[in-house]
Amino acid sequence: MKLKNPTLLRDRCLVNGEWVSGSKGEVIEVDNPATGKIIATVPALSASDTENAIHAAQTAFRSWSKMAAKDRTAVLRRWFTLMVDNADDLAALMTAEQGKPLAEAKGEALYAASFVEWFAEEAKRVYGETIPAPTNNKRIVVIKQPIGVCAAITPWNFPAAMITRKAAPALAAGCTMIVRPAEKTPLTALALAELAQQAGMPAGVFQVITGDARELGGALTASDIVTKLSFTGSTQVGRLLMAQCAPTIKKLSLELGGNAPFIVFEDADLDAAVEGALASKYRNAGQTCVCSNRLYVQDAVYDQFAEKLAARVAALKVGEGHQPEVLIGPLIDGNAVKKVEEHIADALAKGARLVTGGKTHALGGTFFEPTVLAEVTQQMKIAREETFGPVAPLFRFHSEEEVIAMANDTEFGLAAYFYTENVRRTWRVAEALEYGMVGHNTGLISNEVAPFGGVKQSGLGREGSHHGIDEYLEIKYLCSEIA
Ligand SMILES: NC(=O)C1=CN([C@@H]2O[C@H](COP(=O)(O)OP(=O)(O)OC[C@H]3O[C@@H](n4cnc5c(N)ncnc54)[C@H](OP(=O)(O)O)[C@@H]3O)[C@@H](O)[C@H]2O)C=CC1
Ligand SMILES: O=C(O)[C@H](O)CS(=O)(=O)O
């Protein structure tokens, strides 16, 4: 892994403005999923090391929260500029530790930076309000104030964007933030910490700690100094963390699992639908929470769509992320491969048909052939569980009512997609789908300006957009008797 700016490769954690090892002196190895080779080590911090970070964040909060919003904006804008200037190095780190193709990693680096740019601006727009009092001798004013010391626990699939999508609004609001990144992808998080320090972020305002998820997560959730937890990951772990936060009534933002339907109506632009399916299904080798997980195709266009999609999928180049033209990198680990194999085997055993792919790639390791299955039904595991891999299961449907019922038949409600050229159908379907985010004639819906988040068991709260900063603010009103 060659970096233009070698200072971005950090093997220590940033705690209270210092680069520190763990008090136990233990380290965690970081490997490259494409090769299985160890590329770095990071400290295994302990619960007591985490307490040090929490107290540093509490101290830093006292001054950071009182800083003029415009001055916080200036620090965040410098962080944004440094992220853009170092996007190639951030991309190299992501491809090395997570495996995604370099072009996707560069895209994520800029996507991550866009949250810092957006919330640098939002910092200056935390408005309050005045409310006419019920009696003329009183005045009521509403103000918004930063929640306090915040913690973030983030997943491996977007090592940069999932951090800034939380840290940027928190810091903009005047909070301080401790990030515990996934064990598999700490290097990008530590590089973001290095750039934050270069941007002049005061000690204790933004800290990154690495170590055992349960030990560090336990310390963060148990602390009554930490007033807010923002988590992105599986619904199963989200439930656990929600329970761990209950004793201290922490504020929560949860971005959890998905099971996105992708619906192709007979009146769709089929070529556009194929492009959208490729984008929403195979991005990050299918390892995103908003990936289409079930593709429903209306009878009249089913065979045509399946043929078009399979031809494009079979041509997707699989390989190591730094190689040019590679579009599908490795899955994150062997467990991910096992889940994909399990979903395919279950579907075929219950009557599905393999159209293309279907097995581990000739490259070996965790590389997997991009796959399309046909004649898939609701009775198969792949209909109910998030595959988190490069498999497109095609379901048939006959009517709009039938497909809406199938699409909504899940405990998840994160993202959904549909293709139709009919404007009346567009409104009916968009309103009937029980999801937090709906793509119409597009497979790419993620950006910094829209409120990203799910309903049902896909989470709580929204990230990005002007709503995103509210997750890090408390509302207070002053009722003043003036006569
Ligand atoms: N809604 C969204 O925006 C997103 C949702 N996801 C969902 O996450 C899942 C895949 O990501 P994955 O990383 O495997 O999800 P996990 O839920 O397994 O892990 C997410 C994070 O939580 C940590 N973690 C795991 N167990 C605990 C625990 N007991 N206490 C504290 N922290 C813990 C993990 O640490 P470690 O990895 O070190 O074990 C990781 O940092 C999928 O379901 C996907 O849909 C993923 C990304 C975005
Ligand atoms: O982790 C994820 O899956 C991301 O939230 C998806 S996105 O924001 O890049 O769409």
**Model confidence pLDDT, tens digit, residues 272-296:** 999 999 999 999 999 999 999 999 9
State how far the Cα of 461 lies from the Cα of 11, in Å rounded to an integer: 33
State how far the Cα of 371 lies from the Cα of 282, in Å rounded to an integer: 10
Residue with tokens 């935390």: 126
State how far the Cα of 201 lies from the Cα of 26, in Å rounded to an integer: 28
Does the CB atom of residue 157 touch ligand 2 within 6 A?
yes
Protein residue with least CA distance to atom 10, ligand 2: 446
How large is the C-alpha radius of gyration of the chain? 23
Catalytic entry in 117, 122, 255, 275 = 255
Query: Considering every ligand atom, which ligand is closest to the CA of 436?
Result: 1
Protein residue with least CA distance to atom 9, ligand 2: 446
Does the CB atom of residue 453 touch ligand 1 within 6 A?
no
Does the CB atom of residue 290 touch ligand 2 within 6 A?
yes
- Over 228-270, what HEC string results? EEEEECCHHHHHHHHHHHHHHCCEEEEECCCCEEEEECCCCCH
Calculate the CA dihedral of residues 252, 258, 264, 270 and round it to 10 degrees. 90
Counting ligand 2 atoms within 8 A of each CB, the residue from 289, 447, 452 with the most, and so the one to mutate, is 289
**Angstrom distances, CA of residue 341 to CA of 33, 344, 366, 369, 392:** 18, 5, 11, 11, 13
Whether 471 is catalytic is no
State how far the Cα of 21 lies from the Cα of 43, in Å rounded to an integer: 5
**Residue 215 burial (CB count, 10 A):** 17
Distance 410 CA to ligand 2 centre (A): 20
pLDDT score at 1 = 83
CA atoms within 13 A on the CB side of 174: 20
**Angstrom distances, CA of residue 439 to CA of 9, 158, 430, 433:** 37, 20, 9, 11
Distance 283 CA to ligand 2 centre (A): 10
Contact predicate 285/368, CB 8 Å:
yes
Does the CB atom of residue 217 touch ligand 1 within 6 A?
yes
- Over 45-82, what HEC string results? CCHHHHHHHHHHHHHHHHHHCCCCHHHHHHHHHHHHHH
Side chain identity, residue 104: E
In sequence order, the 6+-apart residues with CB closer than 8 A to the CB of 6 are none
Counting ligand 2 atoms within 8 A of each CB, the residue from 230, 232, 290, 442 with the most, and so the one to mutate, is 290
Distance 418 CA to ligand 1 centre (A): 27
Protein residue with least CA distance to atom 8, ligand 2: 446
Does the CB atom of residue 159 touch ligand 1 within 6 A?
no
Tokens of 55: 């107290």
Contact predicate 442/262, CB 8 Å:
no
Query: Considering every ligand atom, which ligand is closest to the CA of 458?
Result: 1
Distance 157 CA to ligand 1 centre (A): 9
Does the CB atom of residue 446 touch ligand 2 within 6 A?
yes
According to DSSP, the β-strands at 176-180 and 206-208 are parallel
In sequence order, the 6+-apart residues with CB closer than 8 A to the CB of 41 are 11, 27, 28, 29, 30
Q: Of ligand 1's atoms, which has the minimum distance to the CA of residue 181? A: 41
Residue 449's closest CA among 430, 472, 468? 468
Contact predicate 318/363, CB 8 Å:
yes
Residue ranges of the chain with pLDDT lower than 70?
none
Distance 237 CA to ligand 1 centre (A): 7
Query: Considering every ligand atom, which ligand is closest to the CA of 414?
Result: 1
Counting ligand 1 atoms within 8 A of each CB, the residue from 237, 338, 412 with the most, and so the one to mutate, is 237
Tokens of 372: 């399309």
pLDDT score at 422 = 98
Q: What is the pLDDT of residues 322-332, one digit of tens each?
A: 999 999 999 99
Distance 290 CA to ligand 2 centre (A): 6
Contact predicate 474/145, CB 8 Å:
yes
